[in-house]
Amino acid sequence: MLKRCIAAEDQKLSHSHIWLACVLIPIIPAIMGTFNYLQNLGILKSQWYSLWTQLTLFYSNFFYAPLIALYCSWLWRMEHLNHNWNVFMTVPVPIRNLYFGKLAVILKVTLFTQLWLGILYFLCGKLAGLPGIFPLEILGWLLRGTLAAISVGALQLLLSMVIRSFSVPIGIALLGSIIGLLVSNRGLGVLWPYSMMLLGMNANKSEDMLSGNTLGFLLGNFLFFLLFTGIALFLLKKKDIKT
């Protein structure tokens, strides 16, 4: 059942422009970060690490969460049109499978986005004249950032489910990311879901921000995921069919 739900959501995306957004939007912070790096070579001396700090300064703070929000809004878009909620709620499939089908597709698209970001990072580094290949530690930071997307994806899927507007959840994601920067600067990042993305990606830092606190990061993500998923499933089960 779950596989069929995932396949149905995949089919939605195959006929959309979401994949174009996946490719084009990450190019913006990559260009901005590389330009910032080249303009500050006098103080940015750590080569690949320094480039990473500048790229993630823009990507993690202003683009990552809104991109996930965009994916979530698109997946709920059809249900919010006309009376398509009735079709969704009367499909002979458990509600949890319908929800997890959407979440699985969100995570797949996010993984693609992260892989593309890694490629952009490498290409920008070579264009900037950096030697060799980037430190393999960066791959771990990309993976952690992808794990953080699980809890944020669950939150944004919940928001896009209850908010009919396509753009409002995206605005919330941007605001949440900005607040997340302030929260993480106070050392409270594990208490705010959007900060998890900054911590996971090691945004704007060349030293590991999660050194010694990886367990707290993983536990926080897991708890946020359970919370937002639980709320979404509860609301779906209580939702009435409109005539």
Each residue of 88-145: pLDDT tens digit?
Answer: 777 778 888 889 999 999 999 999 999 999 999 999 999 999 999 999 999 999 999 9
Kindly report the average pLDDT of the chain as a whole number: 88
More confident of the two residues 13 and 202 = 202
Task: Note whether residue 16 is domain-resident.
Answer: yes
Task: For 25, list phi and psi in degrees, rounded to 5.
Answer: -65, -45
- Evaluate whether 75 touches 160 at the Cβ level (below 8 Å): yes
Residue 203 lies in a domain: yes
Average pLDDT over residues 21-45: 93
Q: Decide if pLDDT at 29 tops 80.
A: yes
Distance CA 21, CA 154 (A): 20
pLDDT confidence of residue 206: 66
Residue 48: per-residue pLDDT: 93
Mean pLDDT of 54-79: 92
pLDDT range class, residue 225, cuts 50, 70, 90: very high
| pTM value surpassing 0.85 | yes
Checking if the pLDDT of 167 tops 80, the result is yes
Asked if residue 243 belongs to a domain, the reply is no
Domain total in the chain: 1
The answer to which of 50-64, 106-120, 195-209 has the lowest mean pLDDT is 195-209
Q: Is residue 146 part of a domain?
A: yes
26 three-state secondary structure: coil
* Alpha carbons 194 and 6: distance in angstroms, whole number: 25
Residue 98 located in a structural domain: yes
pLDDT at 131: 92
Give 241: exposed, middle or buried? Use CB within 10 Å, 0-12, 13-18, 19+: exposed
pLDDT band, residue 42 (cuts 50/70/90): confident
Give the domain range for residue 137. 2-238
Question: Average pLDDT for residues 155-178, to the nearest whole number?
Answer: 94
| pLDDT at position 64 over 70 | yes
Mean pLDDT of 30-45: 92
Q: To 5 degrees, how large is the angle CA 81–CA 154–CA 103?
A: 65
Convert 52-82 to b/e letters by CB count within 10 Å (16 or more is b): bbbbbbbbbbbbbbbbbbbbbbbbbeebeee
pLDDT at 20 over 80: yes
Q: Is the pLDDT of residue 160 over 90?
A: yes
Query: What per-residue confidence (pLDDT) applies to 179?
Result: 93
Mean pLDDT throughout 73-87? 78
The token pair that represents 129 in the structure block: 């004249």
Higher model confidence: residue 106 or residue 1? Answer: 106
Distance CA 159, CA 176 (A): 12
* SS3 call for 194: helix
Residue 23 placed within a domain:
yes
Residue with tokens 């910032």: 36
- pLDDT bin (cut points 50, 70, 90) of residue 243 is very low
